Amino acid sequence: MIKGVIFDIDGIIVDSEPLHMEALIESIKKEVCDSIEVKEDELIGLTLDETIRKFGIEDSKNQGIKDATLKYYIEKLSEKLIRKDMKKLWMSLIKKNIKFGCVSTAEMKICQANVNLLGIGDKKKVPIVALESVEKSKPHPLPYLTMLNMLNLKADEVIVLEDSDIGISAAVSAGIRDVYAWPHNLSTSQKYNQAKKVISDLRDVEFFNNIMN
């Protein structure tokens, strides 16, 4: 029986991946060089540190790029990035007293900013496992195992919603089988072989459709 839901954040509750790429590219241009090439769809699910390393930038520049990227992202973040029906789903979960939380490879500051967009702070404090919360990030199962413990639920009692193969692998490795992939415009390089189902709308998940009706 499903008793809870675990959400990835970037790309799932908010369509924020393009903004993350924009923030990173602008920061690299400012800190390192004016011209860079990037295959945005190949960076989905990576931590910011892992993404920066993909560009082969010297370590001494990393912190400056990270700080500039986070600042740019927070300044540009807006409610228009919330994915379709996500706030309605969260309000339905709250109303029906169904547990839920978020697991991300992003820093807590970014996670909290994204969650705050949904404006439910007066109704529920959403538990978050962020980059700093655990010693190992996705695709290691630890972030999902940590969230299961926080929710006091078993692996077969939750649904997971992810947008990356890295995140799906982490959830499956934690023993979770009801893992759904919800693609977006930058998901083209993702295979989703381990997902139970690839959806195009939240209502494609029967559990979500039932509680939102």
- pLDDT tens, position by position, 131-152: 999 999 999 999 999 999 999 9
* Residue 176, pLDDT score: 98
The mean of the pLDDT values for the chain is: 89
C-alpha Rg value of the chain to the nearest Å? 17
* Residue 18, pLDDT score: 83
Q: Which CATH superfamily is domain 4-15+80-212 in?
A: HAD superfamily/HAD-like (3.40.50.1000)
List the domain boundaries for the chain: 4-15+80-212, 17-76
Domains 4-15+80-212 and 17-76 share a fold: no
| pLDDT beyond 80 at 128 | yes
Burial 162-184 (b: 16+ CB within 10 A, else e): bbbbbbbbbbbbbebebbbbbbb
| CA 32/CA 37 separation, integer angstroms | 13
Write the class of the CATH domain 17-76.
mainly alpha
